[in-house]
Every structure is written in structure tokens, then in C-alpha cells.
Amino acid sequence: MDTDISKENRIHIISEGLATVKTSGKVFYNAVQEFNRDLSISVLTAFVKNYKTGKQKKERSPENKEVNIVLDSTKEINSIGVSCDNGITILEALSATGLRSIRYAKEVPGIKEIIANDISQKAVEDIKHNIIDNKVEGLVTASFNDAIMLLHQHKRQNRFDAIDLDPYGCPSIFLDSAVQTVKEGGLLLVTATDMAVLAGNSPETCYSKYGSISLRIKSCHEMALRILLQCIEAHANRYGRYIEPLLSISADFYIRVFVRVFDGAHKCKYTLSKLSFVYHCTGCGSFTLQPLGVVKRSEEKKNDKFCLPTNVPVDKKCEHCGQAYHLGGPIWSAPIQDKYFINEVLNNAPKHLKTTQRIHGVLSVMLEELDDVPLYYTLEKLSGTLHVETPPMLTIRSAILNAGYKVSYTHCNKGSIKTNAPSKVIWDIMRCWVTTHPVSKKRMIEGTPVYNILSKTSEREYSFEIHPDANPSSKKKGLVRFQANPLPFWGPGTRDTAMVGEDKLSKSRRNQGKRKREISEEDVVNEKDNM
């Protein structure tokens, strides 16, 4: 991204990918989200080649069998920068500068039309100029409208193949109209930047916005993804539709999910079995999932029976440390990645993208993730609970593999341990580690989690011998798996100020030190009164 600022006209010139746009400083633009835009271009490229050519035909049936779905039998579309009659239609509901839509037009093949919408008149004026400057008039149309109203206008006819929602903060207010307006098998691209809410800092706010209780746990970033997915599914189910996640990512200061939306009132009945409550121990961080529903297969009648769980999976106190539980959720507990599609993204990703290495690294980690194991532990939390020397990650992964269980990283956390091993096995492995790396006696205070956990003995000896599969392929290849802060003072930025009367920066400078000045003035008044 290159930015040039003309002092005379106060115009920002932004170059990213194959697009160059001009905008005033008041229209929202976040350079850090270049990775977000690059990944979206990669996903849309793979989506076009699969959705419009009928290549992505594999879907899991309720019986967990693969069945064929043919969405479109048109020939493969490779043209870029021109309108294709059989191409996809895209709505970017919250466009700001229009950069994302223009990049889609110039970098994604097989597009018929893109609507770049914004509620700010100033932003729409900039979008119109940028469309002309980038010579994409035949592909991109600027729209000045409320995003929700625009979506409702298209829900009966002229639906979109892909809808991109990248708001500042929570996307939930747009989801109801978006799930109605995307075509059968179409793609929703949804971003959420209100990570404090999703990561458990304000569970009551999370429930009001997403219909789920967030928890402050080490796996909060994956839980945030699963909260967003269940929210989208809840909105879709109201209209006899359901979602299939293709790719779900936690990156930088936001999460983003790419899901397909399908029709099927009967399929909506399976939603309960895809959602779970989370019991999280406040002492040791152990967690247990409670599915909202159970699907039982009848071999005689060759159909499925939908049941409710009949027991609670935990006691009142944690079996490991004796502490109480918090209850969170519901969350999406089915797989959040489609590994077939991720491979397609890797195979079709454009080579010119600036963040290609990061995309390749992160998606490679996703391919290694266990897709049937929701949430994860962290090495930091396991060691911190016991106040013990932190073991090497390779050692702990080897112990889990040597015990006959699966283990993987997750792209959400570089210290993550995602495994199908029961929590009892994890703590037994840590007990074995403590035998050669003892805990200080002053930490052994009766009633504390460390005391309660180490008061019990491991049921067996676990081997810490290095397992050949303990080191994942992505690490061996030296891929960029976990990104450091891309810029100084990076973050979600400030909200679009194009509709605000006073420039926020000017207001910020005016208010800087205001409290101190008020106190100083108060002291002067008090001093005069005492004279």
C-alpha cells in the first residue's frame, strides 16, 4: 500500500493491489486490512471457479455421505476486468472508499456486476470518481443507500451471488437481510471487529448482539468465530436456510468468515446438533461441550431421529481442580473450515498479492487443524495453572501423540494445543511433567487449583519421547504461520467521519489535556477563594 498526501487539496492517493483510489481524509480506510482484502480476493477467485463451473459438488449429507450438487453448468470463466454474462454479482454493502470493490473488479475473474454501496454521500462521490479513474465503469456501480434497505430491495429478485459485509464493529444488524438476499449456494463474507465483546469482556453485550454468551478463555478467538457462525445460522434458519462454513479466520484485530447459504427447511433441523454450550472451569481452564441436540440414525427406517440430550456432562465443581464452572454459548461446534475449498484457495490464489506469503502460511495451518475438535488449550495456561516450568511445545505434542490421540495447532494462537484427548489426559501429562520439574512447595496451598490437581496421581506414565509427527509440516517449511503486529499502533482505526460535522482528529486535539486544564482552573479558583 502506497499513500501520497497532497497538502493543497488534502487528497489521499491509495495504491493497493491493482487499484489506485483517491479519497478525502474523512472517508474510512484501514491499511492494516490489506490482508483481509487480499484473502477475500483469493476466496472469491476460488469461489467463482467452483461455484460457476459446478466443480465444488461435494457436500456432506445428514448421513455423513458425500452427495453431488450441481449449481451451474456454465463453462469456466477466466476473464478479468470485463463484465461476464455468466459471471457472479457482488454487493459490497459498506464500501467507504470503494477500494475493495474496485480491487474485486480488477483482480477477480468471472464477475458480472459489483455494487459498491455506502450511506455517506461524500464516500459515494469518491467511489464514483475512483470507478472512472480505474476504468471499471462496466463492472462497478456506486450506490448511495442504507445497507439494510438496499439488501431488502433485492431479497425478492436480483439476488446477489456474493455479499460482503465488513462493518466497523458488529455485523449482526445486517445479517437478517443478508441471509435473505444471497442466492442459493451463494457466499457471505462477514467481518466482526468488536473483539472485546466476542472475547468475553462483555458477555451481556455479546448476548444482546449475537445471541450467545462469550467467555474470557484462552481459546476466545476461536470461540468468537463460532459465536459469529451460530449467529449467522440463527438468522438463516428463520427463513428455512442454513449455512456451510468454507473458511473462518481470526486475524489481527478482527474475525472474518466465508460461508455459503443454502435452502432447506429439513436441513435446518440438524442445526441443534451443530451447536453446543461450553462449560468452562474458572480454576484450571478445562472445558466441556454440551450439544443442544443429538441426531440418532435409525438403520431400520433409514432416517434420522432428532433428540435432546438427557444428561449434564459436568458436576457442580471441576473434577480436576474443584473450582466452579461458567456457562457460555451457544457456539457453532461443527467444523468451521472446508479443507477442500481451502486447497482450492491455495491453488487459485493470485500471485501478485502483497500478503501472499501470509495467506499461504495461515491457510496451511488451517489445513493441519483438527476439524472435529472445537476450542483448544494453550501451553501458557496449562503451565501457569500449575506454576511449573513451561515444557517445550514439541514435548507436549509428542506426549499426546504417543498416548494415541491427535493434536494440532490452530491459526488463532501460536501456543495452542488442539486435541481430541480428554482433559483428564492433558492434566495427567502435566502431572508426569511435574515429576521431573517439581513445583515450588510455597505454591502448594490447600484449596488452590495447583494443589487439587497435583494431589491426584496420573493413571499411567506418559512418554515425552519426540514423536515423528509432532513437528507440523507448515513449521518445517518455515511458512509465515502467525503474524506479528504489521504496523506501529495498529488496530481497527476510527469510525468513518464523513458524516460527522467536526473532524474527529481536530476534536481529539481540542480535548487533549482537557481534564488537567479543568483541574488547574479549579485550583486557581480555590486559591483565590482562600486569599
Cβ atoms of 349 and 359 closer than 8 Å: yes
pLDDT in tens, 428-469: 999 999 999 999 999 999 999 999 999 999 999 999 999 999
DSSP notation for 398-442: HHHHHTT--EEEETTEEEEEEESS-HHHHHHHHHHHHHHSPPPGG
Helices (H), 108-256: 121-133, 147-153, 172-181, 195-198, 203-210, 220-237
pLDDT in tens, 202-256: 999 999 999 999 999 999 999 999 999 999 999 999 999 999 999 999 998 899 9
Gap between the Cα atoms of 204 and 458, Å rounded: 39
- Residue 113 grid coordinates: 456486476
Gap between the Cα atoms of 80 and 66, Å rounded: 33
Closest CA to 23 of 122, 167, 100, 136: 122
3-class DSSP state for residue 97? coil
pLDDT of residue 37: 95
pLDDT of residue 79: 85
DSSP at 134: T
pTM, two decimals, is 0.87
pLDDT of residue 246: 97
Gap between the Cα atoms of 525 and 520, Å rounded: 9
Q: Which domains does the chain have, with CATH numbers?
A: 377-476 (3.30.56.70)
pLDDT of residue 513: 66
pLDDT means per 10 residues, the chain with 531 residues, are: 49 89 74 90 94 53 40 59 93 94 96 96 93 96 97 94 95 97 97 96 97 97 98 98 97 95 96 97 97 86 87 93 96 97 94 93 96 96 96 97 97 95 97 95 94 94 96 87 61 52 51 61 54 51
3-class DSSP state for residue 312? coil
Q: Within 10 A of 333 (CB to CB), how many other CB atoms are there?
A: 24
pLDDT of residue 69: 37
pLDDT of residue 67: 39
Gap between the Cα atoms of 511 and 354, Å rounded: 38
HSE, CB side, 13 Å, CA atoms: give it for residue 167: 18
pLDDT of residue 528: 52
- Residue 295 grid coordinates: 441426531
Whole-angstrom Cα Rg for the chain:
26
